[in-house]
Amino acid sequence: MLDSTLDSATDAGAATQPVPPAGVAWGASLHGALLAHLRDYIVEGNLAPGARVPERALCERFGVSRTPLREALKVLASEGLIELLPNRGARVRQLGADEMVALFDVMGGLEALAGRLACEKITESGYAVIERLHHDMYAAYLRRDLHGYFTCNQAIHDRIVEAADNEPLATTYANFAGRLRRVRYAANLDKNRDRWGEAMREHEEILDALRRRAGPELSDILFRHLRNKRKAAAVQETVVQGTTVQGTTVQEAAVQETGAKETAAPAPAVG
């Protein structure tokens, strides 16, 4: 639970909720949009690993009350992106060194298996979708649009798992993917190794092996791809502790939670 009053606040009913901003409707559409925006906000480093989630500031940023925000936080906690603290809200989940190694090795194994199976089962139309995503990802890379790049990147990995057509594999992959999403994004920010450029070159190899239906080769490429990402992610997980990627420190987040004026320009209301 986020705190001892979360469930009672949720059960209080829509009658006590504030009127949403213009263009925003309460319900499933708001929940889905808020969840996506909040997930991106955390994945893209606006809150540092281990930082408390500043509920009040986020409510103001996205134009929502605490009830839908907390429902979205519950989902992100189930994905492994944040941790719910009894009676103390939530914080961004930080991965320890040993846990990161273990998780990336498992993900590497899962993606390696997915790549091998995908080469056996993927259709021409399925390959065409991945090829289009790859070209969109490369265009985002050239624009230095990390958000767009990462969106396409994750879609490519998801499509390869989908093409493997193995339900237990897909379920297991989904259970682990959320726990690594934030650090996979951060790995591209390792400027000392130009991890972003390195990852783009690896994706060229991934597409080529998939085009040739070279299962064992694609399996090896994907495992190496995850190993390289793990090394960069480990560096970034240490670097961003204390200061986030986009300049908001843990201390500033705490100030925001007390109601102080937010230093960054507010985002449009979710709609």
47: Cβ contacts below 8 Å, ≥ 6 apart: 41, 53, 54, 92, 244, 248, 250, 253
Mean pLDDT computed over 51-78: 93
pLDDT level of residue 32 (50, 70, 90 thresholds): confident
Percent over 70 (pLDDT), the chain = 76
Q: How far is CA 210 from CA 140, 164, 220, in A?
A: 21, 12, 12
Fold: same for 6-94+243-257 and 97-239: no
61: Cβ contacts below 8 Å, ≥ 6 apart: 41, 262, 266, 267
Q: How far is CA 79 from CA 189, 224, 233, in A?
A: 23, 25, 19
The CATH code that applies to domain 97-239 is: 1.20.120.530
What pLDDT is attached to residue 193? Answer: 63
Q: How far apart are CA 153 and CA 9, in angstroms?
A: 38
What pLDDT is attached to residue 97? Answer: 86
For 148-199, the pLDDT digits (tens) are 999 999 999 999 999 999 999 999 999 889 889 999 998 888 776 688 999 9
For 105-163, the pLDDT digits (tens) are 999 999 999 999 999 999 999 999 999 999 999 999 999 999 999 999 999 999 999 99
Q: Is the pLDDT of residue 239 over 70?
A: no
What pLDDT is attached to residue 243? Answer: 47
Q: Is the pLDDT of residue 261 over 50?
A: no
What pLDDT is attached to residue 192? Answer: 65
Q: Where are the domains of the chain?
A: 6-94+243-257, 97-239
The answer to whether 84 and 71 have CB atoms below 8 angstroms apart is no
Give the global pTM: 0.72
The CATH code that applies to domain 6-94+243-257 is: 1.10.10.10
55: Cβ contacts below 8 Å, ≥ 6 apart: 66, 69, 70, 89, 257
